[in-house]
Amino acid sequence: MPTTRRQFLSLAGSVTAAGTVPIITLRPLEATPAMLTTAIRNVVGEAQIRTGKVKLDIPPLVENGNTVPMTVSVASPMTANDYVKSIYVFNEKNPQPNIGNFHLGPAAGRAQVSTRIRLADTQKVVAIARLSDDTFWQVAADVVVTLAACTEEMN
Amino acid sequence: MAALINVPARAKRGDVIEIRTLTSHIMETGFRHTADGKLVPRDIITSFTCRYNGAEVFRADLFPAIAANPYLSFFTVAKESGKFEFEWIGDNGYSSTASASIIVE
């Protein structure tokens, strides 16, 4: 019998709920959205952050938070006068709000970076780009994680 | 330490080329505990740099949220034949380097 969308969603929902309950009890030191805001302000300062230009490719549903492929790209001509200086990636609920800072320049040719990250919980990932004119552009993506990373016990 | 580097061997002048690097490292977060409750100390790579004939073209600050065996892919413009040098720096004095050469026509 083919699985209907409703069945799949209820199943996915129950798996997520089952995965979340022990996380709440075991993980008192998760970053809070306030820490995310502080981490972003540390980078951006008082500058205004606009939405757009940045694209964040990350799977919306991941089974294993220990290695989540992620690609950030920025719409930029990458010329000597108009290029991306840096790309900053943040998370909402890992023990620490930073994921990575990537510094490029006009020599990059294309403003795109890929890596693999860890996510300790279902949460939001934010990518912010700093352009050569010191404007900041952001994008956010929600990721559902069924197996958390970072704080599990060692065997 | 072992590192896998992927740089095209040849490129046309002005081409945008992709560079992919993978190095082996545990990237211990410093947030995990052993079964008897001891905190496992942090041991991560904190910095990665790529230089193209001596000039820095890409640099990354890494945090515990980067997965074990850090993989990085980025781009640069092929300007001249020469050498890419890669350097990873981390906790406990960790340092590792690798290089790759390219012929630009």
Query: What pLDDT digit, counting tens, does each position of B20-76 carry?
Result: 999 999 999 999 988 888 999 999 999 999 999 999 999 999 999 999 999 999 999
Is B58 an interface residue toward A (CB < 8 Å)? yes
Which residue in B has a C-alpha nearest to residue A91's C-alpha?
B65
Predicted interface score ipTM higher than 0.85: yes
Distances from the Cα of B67 to the Cαs of A72, A82, A122, A127, in angstroms? 16, 32, 16, 17
User: Rounded to whole angstroms, how far apart are CA atoms A133 and A128?
Assistant: 14
Is B75 an interface residue toward A (CB < 8 Å)?
A: yes
Minimum distance, in Å, between the CA of residue A94 and any CA atom of chain B: 8
User: DSSP letter at A4?
Assistant: P
Task: Identify all chain A residues contacting B16, using CB atoms and an 8 Å cutoff.
Answer: 109-110
pTM exceeds cut of 0.90: no
d(CA A67, CA B68): 8
Q: Of A29, A74, A102, which to mutate for an interface test with B (greatest number of B Cβ within 10 Å)?
A: A102
